[in-house]
Structure 1
Amino acid sequence: MKQLKRWLLLPLSMILLLAPLGCSFGNDDQETVRVAEVTRSIFYAPLYAAMAQGYFSEEGIELELTTAWGGDKTMTTLLSDGADIALVGAETSIYVYAQNASDPVINFAALTQTDGTFLVSRTPTDEFRWDNLNGSTFLGQRKGGMPQMVGEHVLRQHGIDPHKDLKLIQNIDFGNIASAFASGTGDYVQLFEPQATLFENEGLGHIVASFGEESGEVPYTVFMAKESTLKNDTETIERFTRALYKGQQWVDEQSPEIIAASIVTFFEDTPVDVVTQVVERYKDQGSYATDPLLSPGAWDNLQTIMDDSGELPQYVDYEALVNTSIAESILK
């Protein structure tokens, strides 16, 4: 809640700096749709595949994509009309709703349906058990963020109190967590891809568990827009969602090697073989949603995880912040 208030108090100069400058696809007779993504991640492969395969162009959309690098900046961009659509964690829509927003942010299409982080051990183990973490030093994610909430939720599911049974470190900036572990901090670390795979390939760590598999289905990353946008630009949002669905189906049908070759240009600093490994890992555990429909069960699981971590400002009914009509029309 405190973080959300900081978003809403950002000065106008910062809001203007956050306006998308991104890359565009298509031609002059297409409608421009501005999308702000929370970060650039192989976790979002179906979006990049839809772009690379030309599905947005087929739907008459010239997509302008910008990376906001953070949930707060992404939501600020959307709320200030710097973007038409945001790709960010569904929990942010709850934070905005709890502030009694006159034009709430509505989730209309799912992209990922599990957590995307992995537990990496400094030392190899033939048979990992969660109680191995008792008494260890655990390098977690930022307090209040969805990765940390999921991490703590999973630990509790395995009978571990993250604030009593181990030494929890969560005061390191997101961008420095991997380097802190590589330099010797922590016995275990919670990492996103591709860092987890890179560490394993380089012998710096060993992936021993998946937080995505352990925490179940959750609307981890979704496309959302203001309620007014969904009402006034329904046809555009439908075309956007149809293009996304084509990308989701394509990713579901193709091999990791083909997917990686299609999206590798979005990750200039990551070798294609690493992209392939990451895509395969996410596909195997069902992280990529195969259609845009966000389920009630996933929504409830999200709020359970938030509540367990003390970060749920209020319970919000599924119907209040999830629009299923667009996804349902696409799936017919």
Structure 2
Amino acid sequence: MKTRLFRMGLAVLSLAAGFTLAGVVGPAMAQQNVTLALPAQSLLFAPAYIAAERGYFREAGIEPKIVYVAGPGVLTAVLGKSADFAMISGGIQIAAAVRNQKLVAIANTQDRFTTDIVVRKPVADKLGAVPPGDALARIRALKGLTIGIDAVNGLPHSFLRYLARKAGMNPETDFTITALQPQAMVAAMKSGTIEAMAFSPPFSLTAVNDGGALWITGPDVDLPEMKTFPYNVVLVRPDYCQAEAAACRGFTTAIGKAVALMRSDPAASLAALGKTFDRMEPEALRQSFAIFAKYTRTDLGLTEDMYRNAVAFDRAGGVIPETAAVPPASELYAPSLGR
């Protein structure tokens, strides 16, 4: 009888130990599946890639599936509920809100433009000596060229149109625009199918390494709307965080950890990015990472100044009409929902 009771006791202890070990070894909480829509594979979204690779999302109780939807299509994906989160420029968010496609920003990972314009070297040589620091003079010199972008009305297209209008040009007629995926843009530059491209590192730097000339670099453009800009916001549907508060908190917590790692440990960050950018030349990846890391927002901040600059950028670039009614910042920015 004692032997039987002893064996029963061992079985109960073993079962209890199994539960305890499962709690230690297994996930700390049930994982909620969510979908993140990105407009392209770009180092601009390094915080998301790092958070996924380092397990920060899993630690926060969520398991994101990353999907790619060209340019502003990510907004449609979130509005149509085929995605829960999107990351894209705050200027595109505001332009969509003017069209009654309202999404709410709960975080911002970067506050400066890092879009570049690269020109084929033979074309750059023909353009002659244009002052390197004069972005408007350099954009005027591109009149008549065929320029590659990733998507019509996406951020690189908006950047190009903004500069053109500031320079007194008509961006709809003074350039020929071709929409291509980033890798295809670099190949088209190399072959001469297009004469210039507007995109961000590492693809802009890859184009330079393949014989292009860095013509305009976003961080150096000294125009008022380009400073303190919501360059990469995390967007959700207006009612999503009320229904899925844990998912919103988990997402921003994981992104915040990734941004902190980008600032404190570049080597670990680059190692985490290696899987996503495994075909990228390591030195180009390192140089590109340094550019993005420099302008990250460790507080994931969204401010009134960012909102005003994004609205001014959209109006100046013709993305939204000068007289368009824009929802107030209080309707479009809600960082508290991500905490």
TM-score normalised by the chain length of structure 2: 0.75
Identity of aligned residues (%): 18
Which residue of 136, 147, 159 corresponds with 1:150?
A: 159
Unaligned runs of 5+ residues in structure 2 are 1-26
Range that drifts further, 240-249 or 179-188: 179-188
Tell me if 1:128 matches 2:157. no
Residues in 2 aligned to 1:225 and 1:273: alpha-carbon distance in whole angstroms: 35
Structure-2 residue corresponding to 1:71: 72
What's the offset of the Cα at 1:177? 4.1
Residues in 2 aligned to 1:190 and 1:62: alpha-carbon distance in whole angstroms: 33
Residues in 1 aligned to 2:333 and 2:248: alpha-carbon distance in whole angstroms: 14
Structure-1 residue corresponding to 2:217: 210
Q: Secondary structure of the equivalent of 2:274?
A: helix
Structure-2 residue corresponding to 1:13: none
Deviations 1:52-72 (A, max 9, x none): 221111112222222223322
Residues in 2 aligned to 1:297 and 1:226: alpha-carbon distance in whole angstroms: 23
Native 8 Å contact 2:112 2:229 kept in 1: yes
Residues in 2 aligned to 1:119 and 1:136: alpha-carbon distance in whole angstroms: 10
Which residue of 290, 298, 310 corresponds with 1:280?
A: 290
Distance 1:58 1:301, change over 3 A: same
**What is the count of residue pairs matched by the alignment?**
292
Structure-1 residue corresponding to 2:17: none
Which one-letter code corresponds to 1:242 in the other structure?
A: T
TM-score normalised by the chain length of structure 1: 0.77
Residues in 2 aligned to 1:96 and 1:300: alpha-carbon distance in whole angstroms: 16
Native 8 Å contact 1:48 1:263 kept in 2: yes
What's the offset of the Cα at 1:127? 5.9
Tell me if 1:231 matches 2:255. no
Which residue of 167, 170, 173 corresponds with 1:163?
A: 170
Tell me if 1:201 matches 2:201. no
The list of structure 1 runs, each at least 4 consecutive aligned residues, that deviate by more than 4 angstroms after superposition, is 124-127, 185-188
What do you get for the CA RMSD once the two structures are aligned?
Answer: 2.8
Native 8 Å contact 1:35 1:86 kept in 2: yes
> Larger Rg: 1 or 2?
2
Which one-letter code corresponds to 2:209 in the other structure?
A: N
Native 8 Å contact 2:91 2:313 kept in 1: no
Residues in 2 aligned to 1:191 and 1:271: alpha-carbon distance in whole angstroms: 17
Residues in 2 aligned to 1:237 and 1:290: alpha-carbon distance in whole angstroms: 17
- 1:1-332 correspondence to structure 2 within 5 Å: 29-72=30-73, 74-100=74-100, 104-121=102-119, 122=121, 123=124, 128-130=132-134, 131-137=137-143, 138=145, 139=147, 141=149, 144-155=153-164, 157=166, 160-163=167-170, 167-170=174-177, 172-175=178-181, 176-184=184-192, 188-202=196-210, 204-214=211-221, 215-255=226-266, 257-284=267-294, 286=295, 288-312=296-320, 313-326=324-337, 329=339
Residues in 2 aligned to 1:84 and 1:181: alpha-carbon distance in whole angstroms: 35
Deviations 1:209-255 (A, max 9, x none): 31244222322221111111111222321122111111111111122
Native 8 Å contact 2:118 2:204 kept in 1: yes
Range that drifts further, 288-297 or 179-188: 179-188
What's the offset of the Cα at 1:314? 2.8
Unaligned runs of 5+ residues in structure 1 are 1-25
Distance 1:27 1:319, change over 3 A: same
